[in-house]
Amino acid sequence: MVRRTWLISLFQALLVGAIVYLVVLNLMQLDPFSEDVCACVQCIAGGKKDPWFRQRYKTLVPKLMSRQNSKLSTNTSKWWQSLQIRHGDVNYSAVVKTLFSLFPDKEHYSDAGPHRCRMCAVVGNSGNLEGSHYGPLIDAHDFVIRINAGPTTGFEKDVGSKTTHRAIYPESAMDIDNSTHLILVPFKVLDLQWLISIFTTKHIKRTYKAVKSTVQANKDKVMILHPEFIRYIHENWLQKHGKYPSTGFIMLVFSLHVCDQVNVFGFGARKDGKWHHYFDKKYGVSYNGGPHSGNTEYNIILELEHKNKIQIYKGS
């Protein structure tokens, strides 16, 4: 009899322990099923113990859109609408339906685990890449993520030639080769409509400025960044500094979620203080102007390096 009571107490204690564990994980927004480890020497997801990183890095936020996860929370919907030039006249659900009748509708990058060591290079467009000779090093990564119109042809020595992913939005689009994933960063519903249009009717030629009405890219490799993920970066990482994050910073945080080790190239000013692109000397505006908070973004990138989460290659 005593033995049975003892067993029941033990069972109750274990049950309470399990519930407390799950509640704590939930409060900390940690995914109990996500793997903490990888096969690299150092794993990005392995440092959730660091409070600064833990406060910012949330694995449960959807990264890429699918038909299943396309519904937006009230907060995201409100924030996203506030970035748009046109209000209220688009049927978002109908757009999503068309999107996933054209583009792959699947769960990407849920393959983290102890046997994976995915090395990623995130390549920004800073002039600090000029004369860097980083090309071969960049090309040695599993994923090479490039941003907007940053070219490779003619710049191979410094920026490499491999591109596995290119993040664009309508106003920054360029043609993309057949083996590269086009990642659309949607800052507005019109961007989703534009993505449909470039592969079908080609009728959208203007957003707030003239845009490419057709883009060469592999339709089966298209991915669409989730608006929830963009708001998560704006709020959790940037603490709402700037109007919205830069495409480069968005891709850097994205890489923290889909890669095991991240090396960063072409971010920040050159050593002489200039901010121009490696391919465009006329471009000289600091990222601290306009909608982005360049200083906040760069300080976070430095902090990530300080915490051994990424390595920055600072170039010239």
Which residues are annotated as catalytic?
A: 244, 292
Q: Is 125 or 263 the residue whose CB approaches ligand C5P more closely?
A: 125
CA distance 310 to 271: 20
Q: Is 261 or 293 the residue whose CB approaches ligand C5P more closely?
A: 293
Helix (H, G, I), strand (E, B) or coil at 144: strand
Q: State the residue number with the nearest CB to ligand C5P.
A: 248
Q: Is 43 or 262 the residue whose CB approaches ligand C5P more closely?
A: 262
Q: Is 113 or 284 the residue whose CB approaches ligand C5P more closely?
A: 284
CA distance 57 to 36: 13
DSSP secondary structure of 179-222? TSEEEE--SSHHHHHHHHHHHTT----BSSSB--S-----GGG-
Binding residues vs ligand C5P (CB under 6 A): 124-126, 147-148, 172, 246-249, 267-269, 275, 277, 287
Asked if residue 207 lies in contact with residue 170, where contact means CB atoms within 8 angstroms, the answer is: yes
- The residues, ordered by sequence, that sit 6+ positions from 140 with a Cβ below 8 Å of its Cβ are 119
Q: Is 23 or 285 the residue whose CB approaches ligand C5P more closely?
A: 285
Shortest distance (Å) from residue 239 CB to ligand C5P = 17
CA distance 42 to 47: 9
Shortest distance (Å) from residue 301 CB to ligand C5P = 8
CA 313 to chain centre: 19
Shortest distance (Å) from residue 70 CB to ligand C5P = 25
Q: In what order do the strands lie in the sheet with 261-265?
A: 223-224, 181-184, 165-168, 143-147, 119-123, 261-265, 310-313
Shortest distance (Å) from residue 12 CB to ligand C5P = 53
Q: Is 72 or 191 the residue whose CB approaches ligand C5P more closely?
A: 191
Task: Tally Cβ neighbours within 10 Å of residue 285.
Answer: 10
Signed CA dihedral, 104, 107, 112, 116: sign only: negative
Shortest distance (Å) from residue 173 CB to ligand C5P = 11
Shortest distance (Å) from residue 183 CB to ligand C5P = 13
Amino acid symbol at 23: V
CA distance 52 to 313: 23
